[in-house]
Amino acid sequence: MSIAQRVLHGDFGRVALLDMDKPLVPHAHSECHVLLKATGADTYFSVNGQKQLLTDETAVLVNAWEPHYYAHQPDAPRTLILALYIEPSWLAALQRPLALSARPDFFLQRGVQLNRPMRRIADALIAEMMSFSLSDQDLVQELLSDLTVSICESFSDYRHLDRMRVMAPSGFYDGRIRRANQYLMDHYAEDIRMDQLAARCGLSRAHFFSLFRKNTGITPHIMHNMIRMKKACESLGSARSGSLGNISESLGFPEQGHFTRFFRNHLGAAPSQYQRVVERYN
């Protein structure tokens, strides 16, 4: 069974050390996403339908809104993975143009070769997260900022986009899809019928799905699940997090077991185990 060894929550987003031995369902994040191998076997992620190898020398980069999943093979050895979910607002505070990391075309490549300085920083961050004591928050944030800025500078074209005055996305360009997405955000705890949502937008189901994917890069089902997962992680990482039963109910799951299965399928770890290893940064 996959487990979360350590999870950090803060203004930077989330950083998770995940011991993975099970595949994940296709999903997406509103943050840019960096995946690095910590220890164990080489493995694969599928990003936008393309298989990307994760090794000691490579990283997998996933843009915001980009569908991806962990492509673990049955009976393959375990892999310890460092997963970064980096908030664009935090990156923008480091360098203003890095607000462009919210764009679905920010990273130019999905599978990239790490240089030695990047690997050294990643290894230092992994070592800090694998320590038995509470992590040094200042050191973690310094390592995290050095690593993410280095990766952004090497594998995105943000300086060129900034010179071209390309903007970070503030919403989807089609008003009907903006309204549909707002409905999903407002009603994330409900069992939403997508044909009914299409009708609310004045579209046939087929046209709605086609237009939604054209605007967002993902299906409305993945979007709905993405919103639920973000709410789930926020709840589990909050200092005032309630019981799993209350969290499950607040997310619209009729039974706690359904929530556990949903969370494990998207992240790998069970929510109860995730909640036990969360470390909160102010």
CATH number of the domain that residue 227 is part of:
1.10.10.60
Angstrom CA distances, 273 to 7, 23, 236, 276, stand at: 10, 18, 10, 5
Q: Give yes or no: residues 35 and 115 share one domain.
A: yes
Which residues partner with 10 through β-bridges?
13
Q: Is residue 280 part of a domain?
A: no
pLDDT of residue 61: 98
CATH code at position 43: 2.60.120.10
**What pLDDT does 38 receive?**
97
Does residue 278 fall inside a structural domain?
A: no
Task: Note whether 222 and 245 are same-domain residues.
Answer: yes
Give the span between the Cα atoms of 101 and 114, in whole angstroms. Answer: 19
Task: Find the mean pLDDT for residues 150-155.
Answer: 96
Q: Do you know the residue count of the chain?
A: 282
Instruction: Report the pLDDT averaged over residues 108-112.
Output: 95
In the chain, the number of structural domains is: 2
Q: Write out the residue range of the structural domain in which residue 186 sits.
A: 175-270
Tell me whether residue 197 is in a domain: yes
**Structure confidence by residue, pLDDT tens digits, 66-99:** 999 998 887 889 999 999 999 999 999 999 999 9
Asked whether residue 135 carries a pLDDT value surpassing 90, the answer given is no
Q: 134-157 burial by CB neighbour count: b if 16+ within 10 A, else e?
A: ebeeeebbebbbbbbebbbeebbb
Across the chain, mean pLDDT equals 92
Average pLDDT over residues 127-150: 91
Assess whether pLDDT exceeds 90 at residue 169: no
Does 24 have pLDDT greater than 90? Answer: yes
Same domain flag for 207 and 141:
no
Give 250-267 pLDDT, tens digit per residue. 999 989 999 999 999 999
Whole-number percent of the chain with pLDDT over 90? 81
Instruction: Say yes or no to pLDDT of 55 above 80.
Output: yes
- pLDDT tens by residue, 216-255: 999 999 999 999 999 999 999 886 767 899 999 999 998 9
Distance CA 253, CA 257 (A): 9
**Are both 193 and 265 inside the same structural domain?**
yes
Q: Are residues 50 and 185 in the same domain?
A: no
Statement to judge: residues 217 and 248 lie in one domain? yes
Whether 196 has a pLDDT exceeding 80, the answer reads yes
Are residues 18 and 137 both part of a single domain?
yes
What is the mean predicted confidence (pLDDT) over 164-189? 87
Same-domain check for residues 99 and 222: no
Do 14 and 7 touch, CB atoms closer than 8 A? yes
pLDDT of amino acid 239? 66
Q: So what's the pLDDT on residue 150?
A: 97
What is the mean pLDDT of the segment spanning 8-26?
94
Residues 48, 154 within the same domain: yes
